[in-house]
A and B are shown apart, each in its own frame.
Chain A
């Protein structure tokens, strides 16, 4: 792991992600707050749109490359690129080098970007050595491990370690925490019945914990799970883990719920 720079504040380019941008900007601001608390300077380059997964996972390499090139350009010069998503960070870190394999001009730039790119919570813990957060959340929560973060980036212990330092919070392990929630990008609309079964199982598992809140680190999974929870009338709040860690949950209704 690279050491945080001691002389100057690390300059972080925030990869907002298209879902956070559109659906839940508060997650982006939570990320900014956490990164600044950790001693980073944060910018959100205006030229960023999407990491390219919709095209890449649909087999459209040409469009995926075009979109990825723009991201590589947009994030030139930052010490780190941090995303509040294991899926988008995994795309840049693991798949950009594959996408440009054999492209003499772009492959080295893709590799360079890849090694500077992190998922938010693992960046805080592994790179910035954050050991605790000044946050309070009264209640029991459980945590879903989103697939890309877990299996591509090894995000597992980091969010749990920080959650345990939140005052008032009790963490209950989710049975089947590592099982996919059924989102899978376009999968959830291409195969809605299968996706429904998977997300219904996830909500049922979360209910078994007795926790009132289900957290995760990826907004795609969270929109899927929150949409199922409200449809079923489950007594379950869904939140991005960054909202809780940044102590912003008090002023923000859970995903898919109205302000009271």
Chain B
């Protein structure tokens, strides 16, 4: 199942309600652990705040000169013996990947973790074309077996409990002669590792994402904790890197600066276990490596964000700090968002990629608590951009008619203090009288959104301005 083929963002509210009532999901989401670890990692690095400013400047500079750096990057890739494939749409990217797979008669393709792969629904497409994609990140492997999309951008199976993983393995690993219901995570890891080892050796093509593209050297960089990315890209004949233009940084030094923020912001590690830099295919004298190195760069609407109020979003390094700290994401999980990128970064990015008419609910589903912006290593003003989406929605009259009328009526009254005072005097008196006995109201017509779950505290009875006037102040 792929959100890219079947967006569900329009039904965010219903999805969220179902997620809140899903006890298994709530148990799986119960403790994320990333927040405390991030806090500890940040406390251990005095220059963390200074690094955030540096990182923001690196990306701002790159985005301001993106054309220059993209060309410089391509020249370096060519120089190192690789190739760059420029793709405007998901369809172009899928076809570029398929053509490369077909060029070596690929039957099996291993995949390192990449959200771009989700964005272009690559796995279903490869399967339709007779090629078996195998996810090699353990979390991605689990959800591939379960035919589910990821629910988190770095912990894709965060919504799955240990018991569910055991059941899934029991059902899907019988074909490999594994028929015991496992109970320990360690055993599950070993079983998956044994099966994946064979897939690595058989793969004709390995596809990874990229955390960075480096213009200075034509390199791509990935970070992983399992080492699966290295096996994915080293063993097959062809290594395909799936990336997008905003992954670019000018130099290796710049990548190093941002790398110091990435894992700390994501999991609270100082560095991920593996940081792998790839530059071109295997050279004469290299002990291993792919014979061909290709980079597929997908735009899919990103460069159209340049010069708009959404440009800052292109600084995102997909660390997931905003998801991990978002009270809404933590309550409902990633699938409720109904598209590839969940959480605050998704609420800004998704409308850019699939349209605010499809994804308008997402930027509305925020209290603007600002926690996401406060933990973003790239200082992306996420709430501000969610508000900009609400503005686009309002301008296009996509928000509910009743809400727009309500706003108009409110604005009319709010601009007329005398009328407003008269209305609020009555409201305070009536609500105050109704609620006098208990101090609150359990039911109120037209306010079920409030009173379904909470009482409405009753007003004291007179407005401040009425009392202020009475007291002759």
Residues of A whose CB lies within 8 Å of any CB of B are 16, 18, 20-26, 28-29, 43-44, 46-50, 52, 54-61, 63, 66-67, 70, 98, 147-148, 151-152, 178-180, 182-199, 223-224, 226-228, 230-231, 253, 255-259
Contacts and interface: CB of A to CB of B under 8 A. Distances in A.
B292 interface: no
Nearest to A184: B367
Question: Which 9 A-B pairs rank lowest in CB-CB distance, beginning with the nearest?
Answer: A184-B367, A59-B390, A189-B449, A227-B454, A256-B457, A180-B369, A59-B394, A25-B464, A258-B439
Given A25-B462, A194-B20, A231-B455, 4 more contacts: A21-B463, A179-B371, A180-B367, A192-B450
B390 A66 contact: no
A63 B417 contact: no
Given A60-B394, A179-B327, A198-B331, A189 B450 contact: yes
A183 B438 CA distance: 22
Contact of B440 (A61, A148, A257): A257
Interface string B246-273: 0000000000000000000000000000
Contacts of A193: 16-17, 20, 453
Nearest to A256: B457
Contacts of A197: 20, 331
Contacts of A46: 417, 465, 469
A183 B17 CA distance: 17
B81 interface: no
B440 A256 contact: yes
Given A59-B391, A257-B439, A21 B449 contact: no
Interface residues of B, number: 68
Contacts, number: 202
B457 A227 contact: yes
B411 A67 contact: yes
B459 A22 contact: yes
Contacts of B374: 151
B453 A24 contact: no
A92 B436 CA distance: 34
Contacts of B399: 58-59
Contacts of A16: 464-465
Contacts of B407: 54-55, 58, 60, 63
B274 interface: no
Interface in B418-441: 420, 424, 427-428, 436-440
A22 B458 contact: no
A67 B420 CA distance: 13
Contact of B460 (A23, A223, A227): A23
Contacts of B393: 59
Given A22-B427, A24-B459, A191 B439 contact: no
A46 B465 CA distance: 7
B356 to A, nearest CB: 10
Contacts of A28: 464, 468
A224 B459 CA distance: 14
A228 B454 contact: yes
A20 B462 CA distance: 11
A28 B387 CA distance: 30
B458 A256 contact: yes
Most buried by B among A59, A98, A255: A59
26 contacts: A22-B424, A22-B459, A22-B463, A24-B459, A25-B462, A25-B463, A26-B460, A28-B468, A29-B467, A44-B468, A46-B417, A54-B407, A54-B410, A55-B410, A57-B390, A58-B403, A59-B392, A59-B393, A60-B411, A61-B394, A183-B367, A185-B368, A196-B453, A197-B331, A226-B457, A256-B439
A46 B328 CA distance: 38
B44 interface: no
Contacts of B450: 188-189, 192, 227
A227 B456 contact: yes
Contacts of B331: 194, 197-198
A94 to B, nearest CB: 10
B465 A152 contact: no
Contact of A231 (B371, B453, B465): B453
Interface in B1-32: 13, 16-17, 20
B417 A49 contact: yes
A23 B457 contact: yes
Contacts of B366: 184, 187
A127 B143 CA distance: 55
B201 interface: no
B453 A228 contact: yes
A59 B391 CA distance: 4
Contact of A194 (B332, B415, B427, B454): B332
Contacts of B413: 49
A35 B65 CA distance: 52
A195 B459 CA distance: 22
Contacts of B455: 226-228, 230-231, 256
Contact of B449 (A180, A190, A198): A190
